[in-house]
Structure 1
Amino acid sequence: MSASGTASPQVAVVGAGWSGATAARLLHDAGLRVHIFERTMAVGGHSRSATVNGVLFEPEGPHIFHTSKPAVKDFAVRHGMRHSYEHKGLTQIFLDDADEHPYTLSWPPQVAELHVLPVWPAIEKELSGLPPTPCTRDFESHCVSIMGRTLYRLFIEGYTIKQWGCHPSDLSSTFAPSRLGLRTDGNRRLFRDTWEFFPLPNAQEVMESMTRPIPATFGQEIAAADLPELERAYDAVVLTVPLDTFAGRPGRLEWRGIRTVSRYIPLEDPDATVTPGYIVNHPSLRVPYTRTVESKHASGQSIPATVVTEEYPGAPARHYPVLTTDSRNERENVRLQEEIRKMTRMSVFFCGRLANYEYINQDVALDQGMSCANDVIRELRAKGRNTREGRAYER
């Protein structure tokens, strides 16, 4: 442990995804001595890309980076996030089980496009009777209150059942406002943020730029049992990992995972693609996967091949927290945070999707890394540790 006023404090950062890489770099730039521990053999976490015969694809899901915060944008651009790309979502729906061919429509739904559907009269009637404010009782009620029962059935219900493995009425409405809606403006952009990017050549190079000057140990999983040893060398620890696993109590938190199947497809035309868009949702229960991802739409590669990735829900992985109406998992995560803090004399900080048990996008994970770095500096300074004046980064 560093002596007060004589040396810069040391901070261990566990996990090298977006939040961990960001916090580590900002703490390093602020003059602290930082060490990263990553259980895999490389940085990047869930956002890593891959290539097959030169074709870039995303085996863990699409890399959607968007933000309206100048500090988040500037930090990402500084480390290589420079390829602007407007994300436009699509959904393929079947009106009923007898349909042979799906309708391909925008996601979120655009009212003007819905006029082509034979069920438009029912949709129009439901839209005219929507309540003045959305219902927040549960996810299903929220969806029905903003788009009516027919659009909910076509666009949301089956997707949600497949994705989460439960009925939509069992899920919290808290994550709904940022992820779905009904639009009337004709703007097909999936997000309304000021800046949107697709990481080229890949997302891990952005995080490698962040972590390049920082010592790191790869292939080592840090757990609560390691805290006494860490105490002998570090003043603080930043955790970006799932806390039930870290605490040695796997299963105390519910997680939902996906399994991806990627297909390499040779093409004659180097500019051709196979699917209608980068990300295409498939809400029908007739289709076993939830969506397809064809990264060539976003990368703009000119190459005589493509890769289409299908996402199948229900894998034993920690991709998505399960946010239920009673918030039982969020409360359990708070209890785990409290337990872990009591296990050590170090200052403990929790950052990112896994450690905070939140359903967030990459830009929010980066923003949390910024906030966490500032919190670390503030607390260590309050304890008399030798840190530079000011904040790690102005957010």
Structure 2
Amino acid sequence: MSPCTLIVGAGLYGAACARELHDAGHRVHVIEQRPQPGGNCATRYVAEADCHEHLHGAHIFHTDSDRIWTWVNRFARFNGYVNRVKVRHGDALYSFPINLFTLYQVFGAKTPDEARAALARERQPIAEPANLEEHCLATVGPTLYRLFIEGYTRKQWGRHPSELPAEIIKRIPVRLDFNDNYFNDRWQGIPIGGYAAMFDRLLAGIRVDFGVDFLRDRDHWLARYDRVIYTGPIDAFFDHVHGRLEYRSLRFERELLPIADFQGNAVVNYTDAAVPYTRIVEHRHFDLPSPARNERASHTLITREYPAAGGAGAEPYYPVATAANQARFERYRALADELAPQVHFGGRLAEYRYYDMHQVIGAALAHVQRRLHGGCHRIDALTPSA
């Protein structure tokens, strides 16, 4: 009988590895600290609002990869939802990401040429931006920066943009047409039945135990298994011996309202620094309710997202990409390399990087292919497989 691989974490990285190894004839045991699979893209059905609630923030699957789209469609049918975010600043609402209609709302520009001219007048001549604020001023100018970026970024990261590196926003999308699709990828949507149904199919036939804290009995688990895939925080695995990696966290405030529709859209970002939350999500719109279904609805579910400091006891969401944090991560990565090939560190927490869902899948598939067909086991910042 083949040896069994322990997978720590039933999020997308762990579940994808488990599925691929299981299908290749390997025995797999998944343990998960939470009471359900799915990691931060977990959902649950809320009967009162007749919708699927995104428990840890909105997650819209999107990809431009034929391979990943084909793979994920083995486990879910997607509803074709397109993310068209709106922004509220003060009493005004804007189309977002910045597109020609946004530029009409802000500058009165009615054509692409008028929009180019308005942006040229706004941009500040900063040849080598030293921080995020200067990068934004050089790219879109002060008006759009103050409306869409300054307050939101200050809330999200707990620091003023002048204190953050320009790399946090590598590219500010500005479209000179009326395309308000948040993503550029060919395919996007949300699984029909929510992510819970998708993970049920991903993990079908695989042993999964919930409510298990791997780190509490780490040495016990490592002694029992020759191969371990660990998807939790890399610094926690090593008892924070080099200090804690810095994260930003989130706090969610859910509210069930006795109305059919609260904001008319799935996602509205609040970019004014005076508003303590960064966005309100209305979950029913992710399920693409029909007009008839809206007429029957008696309640709707909304969630306000409040950025919060990371640290002990806080759920880690966004790695803070500073030079000091990256240097600390490199020290943890060196410790992780010493445990290869027994322990593989994969996923956003183990690799201390922000991943979109399609990138998580790409990285997981790449790891399993190396595992099955030979190759390097070293933890590294992979370019997710396309």
Mark yes or no: TM-score above 0.5: yes
In structure 2, what is the Cα distance between the partners aligned to 1:362 and 1:238? Answer: 18
Tell me what 2:282 maps to. 294
User: Cα distance, 1:61 vs. partner?
Assistant: 0.6
Among 49, 65, 80, which residue is 1:69 paired with?
Answer: 65
Query: Is contact 1:55–1:305 with CA below 8 Å preserved after alignment?
Result: no
After TM superposition, list the pairs within 5 Å mapping 1:124-135 onto structure 2: 125=118, 127-128=120-121, 130=123
Among 308, 317, 322, which residue is 2:302 paired with?
Answer: 308
Distance change >3 Å, CA 328–CA 52, structure 1 → 2: farther
The answer to whether 1:202 aligns with 2:194 is yes
Among 364, 371, 374, which residue is 1:369 paired with?
Answer: 364
Task: Letter of the 2:29 partner, please give it.
Answer: H
Task: Letter of the 1:297 partner, please give it.
Answer: H
Tell me what 2:382 maps to. none
Tell me what 2:79 maps to. 83
The answer to whether 1:355 aligns with 2:350 is yes
After TM superposition, list the pairs within 5 Å mapping 1:230-269 onto structure 2: 230-249=221-240, 252-267=244-259
Among 14, 25, 29, which residue is 1:20 paired with?
Answer: 14
Query: Is contact 1:67–1:193 with CA below 8 Å preserved after alignment?
Result: yes
Task: Letter of the 2:183 partner, please give it.
Answer: F
User: Cα distance, 1:137 vs. partner?
Assistant: 4.2
Distance change >3 Å, CA 36–CA 89, structure 1 → 2: same
In structure 1, what is the Cα distance between the partners aligned to 2:211 and 2:18? Answer: 18
In structure 2, what is the Cα distance between the partners aligned to 1:345 and 1:288? Answer: 44
Among 223, 230, 234, which residue is 2:215 paired with?
Answer: 223
In structure 2, what is the Cα distance between the partners aligned to 1:75 and 1:110? Answer: 32
5+ residue gaps, structure 2: 378-384
Distance change >3 Å, CA 124–CA 282, structure 1 → 2: farther
User: Cα distance, 1:378 vs. partner?
Assistant: 3.6
Distance change >3 Å, CA 347–CA 81, structure 1 → 2: farther
Moved segments of 4+, more than 6 Å: 118-123, 131-134
Name the Cα RMSD after superposition: 2.9
5+ residue gaps, structure 1: 1-6, 95-101, 383-393
Tell me what 1:151 maps to. 144
Distance change >3 Å, CA 264–CA 224, structure 1 → 2: closer
In structure 2, what is the Cα distance between the partners aligned to 1:167 and 1:365? Answer: 30
The answer to whether 1:32 aligns with 2:30 is no
Distance change >3 Å, CA 239–CA 131, structure 1 → 2: farther
Tell me what 1:335 maps to. 331
In structure 1, what is the Cα distance between the partners aligned to 2:189 and 2:11? Answer: 17
Give the TM-score normalised by the residue count of structure 1. Answer: 0.83
Q: Secondary structure at the match of 1:115?
A: helix
In structure 1, what is the Cα distance between the partners aligned to 2:359 and 2:127? Answer: 24
The answer to whether 1:172 aligns with 2:168 is no
Select between 11-20 and 111-120 the one with higher mean Cα deviation.
111-120
User: Cα distance, 1:208 vs. partner?
Assistant: 2.0
Task: Letter of the 2:319 partner, please give it.
Answer: P
How much identity, in percent, do the aligned residues show? 31
User: Cα distance, 1:171 vs. partner?
Assistant: 2.7
In structure 1, what is the Cα distance between the partners aligned to 2:29 and 2:131? Answer: 42
User: Cα distance, 1:150 vs. partner?
Assistant: 1.6
Select between 368-377 and 193-202 the one with higher mean Cα deviation.
368-377
Query: Is contact 1:47–1:60 with CA below 8 Å preserved after alignment?
Result: yes
Q: Secondary structure at the match of 1:355?
A: coil
Query: Is contact 2:99–2:178 with CA below 8 Å preserved after alignment?
Result: yes
Distance change >3 Å, CA 93–CA 122, structure 1 → 2: farther
Give the TM-score normalised by the residue count of structure 2. Answer: 0.85
User: Cα distance, 1:192 vs. partner?
Assistant: 0.8
Distance change >3 Å, CA 19–CA 130, structure 1 → 2: same
In structure 2, what is the Cα distance between the partners aligned to 1:237 and 1:379? Answer: 16
User: Cα distance, 1:166 vs. partner?
Assistant: 1.0
